[in-house]
Amino acid sequence: MRILLSLGLVRGLIAQAAGTAFGMALTMAIRVLLGLPAWNAEPVMVAGALVGVISFLVGVGAFTDWFKWVKGEETPMRHGPPEGRPAWTRYLSVDYSHKVIGVQYVVTGIALMLVAGLLAWIFRTELTQPGLQFLDAPTFNTMISAHGIVMIAAILLGVSGMMNYLVPLMIGASDMAFPRLNALGYWVNVPGAILVVAAMFVGGWNTGWTGYPPLSVQSPLGTPLFLLGVYFVGLSSILGAINIIVTILRMRTPGMTLFRMPIFVWASLAASIIQLTGTQLIGLSFLMVVVERVLGMGFFNPNLSPEAIALGSPPGNVLLFQHLFWFYSHPAVYIFVLPGLGIISELLPVFARKPLFGYRWVALSSMAIALVGFLVWAHHMFTAGMDPGLRVPMMYSTLLVAVPTGVKFFSWVATVWQGKLSFPTPMLFVLGAISVFLLGGLSGPPNGTVTTDLFLHDTYWIVGHFHATMFGGFVFPFFAAIYYWFPKVTGRKYNETLGKLHFWLMTPAFWVQTLAQMDVGLKGMRRRIVDYDPALGIETGHLLITIAGFVIGLSILVMLYNLVRSARTGEVAEANPWRSRSPEWQIPSPVPEHSYARPFVVVGDPYDYGLPGSTYIQFAPSGASE
């Protein structure tokens, strides 16, 4: 009990509950003072949610050191597990080690993935037959909306987890540049995710993950909570990006020039640039919807009150939302996939025992994708009634993204070509990722071409497209990374048979799911609709999607079972099971508290596998430091 109450997480949750109640009461009191009726669900809940999130952060202890700075006190950096408490408690409290924070991110991400996956199981069961079975339309709408946004949050957390754990290790930094900010960046996700989940229980919302007005201005009470929850998850992206960029630019070990950085570090840099800048705009657009709901500020309202007409005010415009939203949310897909594609480039040379083909091109292609990605947002608006003059430029810029993406593909193929391949679980997932991402990538250009998109938009084809890109670009590589670095993180081996079982269940099922989604989409199935016309002849397709969805979910449960069991009782792993050249594999597993006892210098290129006499890093002779 005492240990339980000492956990930051528990304190944070209690504080969030208390803070929410306090914020609501305070707002009601202010409303009474202003002569308004005390209860109006919308403003009271929004204020409660905001105070609740801040209270969580205070309660968990994310601000403790900064409060001391405000008072002018010094706060020496503490390392290692907490004193007088079991070591595991550090994972449930504020901890400044990037390795702990990385694990926190990944575990939370997987937990959210399970929540969102469960929702998918439920609404997919509903969709196996036309007509309404056991869900009504509002519940269905809430579930698909929550599925989408919770998965996106899960992906963002997974991405941050990988970057947090791996980037400092790969560049030989002792930790991130701003450890306290790093901890805050992780913890702000937790109350944010709680808001999104809570939104499902206070009326839900029916806008899909995109939250387009005017619907989101009129939709049920869950909407503002969902919008605010996403806002805080976005805040985490921004804080994390600052940290990653400074760490990469300023804390590399001697000899690690930009073009000797691992590809994953390049990908993290590119993804962080998008997170740093773009995220503000989804935040702004969601905030605008919240203030339109709460204060009636008509950013998106096409109707004018008589007073506004008397002032000569122009009306609001819903398209403004879409522009702001997609200016982030298109580049956001590259936040999801760039690190994953980096993992692919990272692991292929290890398992092919060959240098990565075209290192410089691959490194720069991540940057190119990130930059061009900012010029394509309106390809989500071809049917929205925007200025037709934007259509063709956006179409060409969209198709242009295929060039740097193609560079990566060619590099992968050329890397595998004539390699001495071996196929342990991580390699299988890498190859699965490439195959699935190819499918997703090829289904993109038809969406980006105006003429075809007019027919494809808002159909299940799009659902197939982005599931394939997200799975190929994030989920498969993420699992590859989990299996690959599992021995590094835990010091133990995972079970290879179960790992392969996971792969062979998930990959065929995923192919079936995506192809069936695309197929029913082409036959006329709309997105985000609980019912469909049996005359479309898509019942078999829907049945296949549902069955495949269940198999994918089960396979992930197999993985979790494997990971949890192996972390406890797995065989002790050897130091460098993959014969990797990367520095983090040259030190003991699990990584010691201060990762590198001796600093290292970079003397060669990272991926020169199989080249005789090539070295990447050299450790300083012992005793040289300090």
Partner 1 sequence: MSTIASTMADYRHQLRNNRLGLWLFFISEAFLFGGLFVSRFYLWGNTRPELDQTLGLTITSILLLSSFFMNRAEMAIAHDDRRTFLNSLLITAALGILFLIGVVGFEWRGHIRPWDGAFGAVLFGMTGMHALHVLSGVIFILIVWNNGRKGHYSSERHWGVEACAIYWHYVDVIWVFFYPALYLMGTVVR
Q: What is the binding site for partner 1 (CB under 8 A)?
A: 69-70, 72, 177-178, 181, 238, 241-243, 245-246, 249-251, 276-281, 283-285, 288, 291-292, 295-299, 301, 304-305, 307-309, 311-317, 320, 323-324, 327
Angle, CA 261 vertex, CA 255 and CA 266 arms, to 5°: 150
Binds 26, which of partner 1, Cu ion, ligand HEM, none (CB < 5 to 8 A, cut-off by type)? none
Residue number with the smallest Cβ distance to ligand HEM: 444
User: Shortest approach of Cu ion to residue 326 CB, angstroms?
Assistant: 7
* Helix (H/G/I), strand (E/B), else coil: 459: strand
Instruction: State the nearest-atom distance from the C-beta of 107 to partner 1, in Å.
Output: 27
Among 16, 207, 210, 365, the residue binding ligand HEM under the rule CB under 6 A is: 210
- Tell me the sheet residues that pair with 617: 602
Per partner kind, with CB cut-offs from 5 to 8 A, the member of partner 1, ligand HEM, Cu ion, none near residue 243 is partner 1
d(C-alpha 561, C-alpha 267), whole Å: 30
Query: Which residue number, 91 or 455, has a Cβ lying nearer to ligand HEM?
Result: 455
Exposed / middle / buried, residue 221 (Cβ in 10 Å: 0-12, 13-18, 19+): middle
CB of 394 to Cu ion, least distance (A): 10
Task: Look up residue 401 and give its DSSP letter.
Answer: T
Residues whose CB is less than 8 angstroms from the CB of residue 278 and which lie 6 or more positions away in sequence, other chains included: 327, 328, 331, 332, 374
Paired tokens of 176? 């991130």
Residue 280 touches which member of partner 1, ligand HEM, Cu ion, none, C-beta under 5-8 Å by kind: partner 1
471 binds ligand HEM (CB under 6 A): no
401 binds, among Cu ion, ligand HEM, partner 1, none (CB under 5 to 8 A by kind): ligand HEM
Compute CA 417 distance to the chain's CA centroid, rounded to the nearest angstrom: 31
**Count of residues in the chain:** 626
Under 8 Å CB-to-CB from 363, ≥6 apart: which residues? 259, 261, 263, 266
Count the alpha carbons within 13 Å of 331 in the hemisphere toward its beta carbon: 28
Helix (H, G, I), strand (E, B) or coil at 315: coil
Q: Is the CB of 120 or the CB of 318 nearer to partner 1?
A: 318
Among 89, 189, 219, 469, binds ligand HEM (CB under 6 A): 469
Between CA 522 and CA 537 the distance in angstroms is: 11
Binding map of ligand HEM across residues 314-353, x = CB under 6 A, - = no contact = -------------------x--xx----------------
Q: How far is CA 187 from the centre of its chain?
A: 15
- Which of Cu ion, ligand HEM, partner 1, none sits in contact with 346, Cβ below 5 to 8 A by type? none
Question: What is the DSSP secondary-structure string of 228-294?
Answer: HHHHHHHHHHHHHHHHHHHHHHH-PPTT--GGGS-HHHHHHHHHHHHHHHHHHHHHHHHHHHHHHHH
In the chain, what are the helix, strand and coil shares in percent, each to the nearest 5? 70, 0, 30
**With CB under 6 A, what is the number of residues at the site for ligand HEM?**
24
Closest approach, Cβ 373 to Cu ion, in A, equals 8
Choosing from 162, 242, 401, 434, the residue that interacts with ligand HEM (CB under 6 A) is 401
Where residue 493 falls (left for φ over 0; alpha for ψ -120 to 50; beta otherwise) is beta
Nearer to ligand HEM, 466 or 494 (CB): 466
User: Which residue's CB is nearer to Cu ion, number 252 or number 330?
Assistant: 330
CA distance 30 to 42: 14
Please identify, using beta-carbon distances, which residue of 44 and 370 lies nearer to ligand HEM.
370
Q: Which residues, 179 to 208, sit near ligand HEM by CB under 6 A? A: none
Nearest to 168 by CA among 89, 62, 240: 240
Residue (330 or 581) nearer to Cu ion, CB: 330
Helix (H) or strand (E) holding 602: strand 600-602
Tell me which of 342, 448, 487, 541 binds ligand HEM, using CB under 6 A.
448
Within 278-337, the residues that bind Cu ion by CB under 5 A are 330
Q: How far is the CB of 450 from partner 1 (least distance, A)?
A: 22
Tell me the closest approach of the beta carbon of residue 271 to ligand HEM, in angstroms: 12
Write out the two tokens for 303.
């109707």
Binding to ligand HEM by CB under 6 A, coded x per residue (else -) over 368-397, reads: -----------xx-----------------
Binding to ligand HEM (CB under 6 A) within 478-497 occurs at none
| Binding-site member from 322, 398, 415, 555 for ligand HEM (CB under 6 A) | 398
Which listed option, partner 1, ligand HEM, Cu ion, none, makes contact with residue 500 (CB within 5 to 8 Å by class)?
none
Cβ contacts of 414 within 8 Å, gap of 6 or more:
357, 358
Q: What is the 3-state secondary structure (H, E, C) of 522-574?
A: HCCCECCCCCCCHHHCCHHHHHHHHHHHHHHHHHHHHHHHHHHHHHHHCCECC
If the CB atoms of residues 393 and 406 are measured against partner 1, the closer one turns out to be: 393
11/330 with CB nearer Cu ion: 330
- Which one among 220, 255, 419, 445 touches ligand HEM, defined by CB under 6 A? 445
Nearer Cβ to ligand HEM, position 382 or 484? 382
CB of 161 or CB of 339, closer to ligand HEM: 339
Stretch near ligand HEM under the rule CB under 6 A, chosen from 243-251, 261-269, 463-471, 536-544: 463-471
31, 85, 391, 457: which one binds ligand HEM (CB under 6 A): 457
d(CA 116, CA 148): 7
- Binds 241: which of Cu ion, partner 1, ligand HEM, none (CB < 5-8 Å by kind): partner 1
Amino acid identity, position 450: V
Helices (H), 353-400: 359-372, 391-400
265 binds, among partner 1, Cu ion, ligand HEM, none (CB under 5 to 8 A by kind): none
Member of 179, 224, 426, 473 binding ligand HEM (CB under 6 A): 473
Among 59, 224, 283, 441, binds ligand HEM (CB under 6 A): 441
258 Cβ contact list (under 8 Å, min separation 6): none
Rounded to an integer, what distance in angstroms lies between the CA atom of residue 124 and that of residue 146? 14
Least Å distance, CB 382 to ligand HEM, is 6
Tokens coding 64 = 């403790």
Q: Which token pair is 534? A: 């049996």
Q: d(Cα 146, Cα 168) in Å, to the nearest integer?
A: 33
Binding interface with Cu ion (CB under 5 A)? 330
Binding interface with ligand HEM (CB under 6 A)? 210, 333, 336-337, 379-380, 398, 401-402, 405, 441, 444-445, 447-448, 453, 456-457, 462, 465-466, 469-470, 473
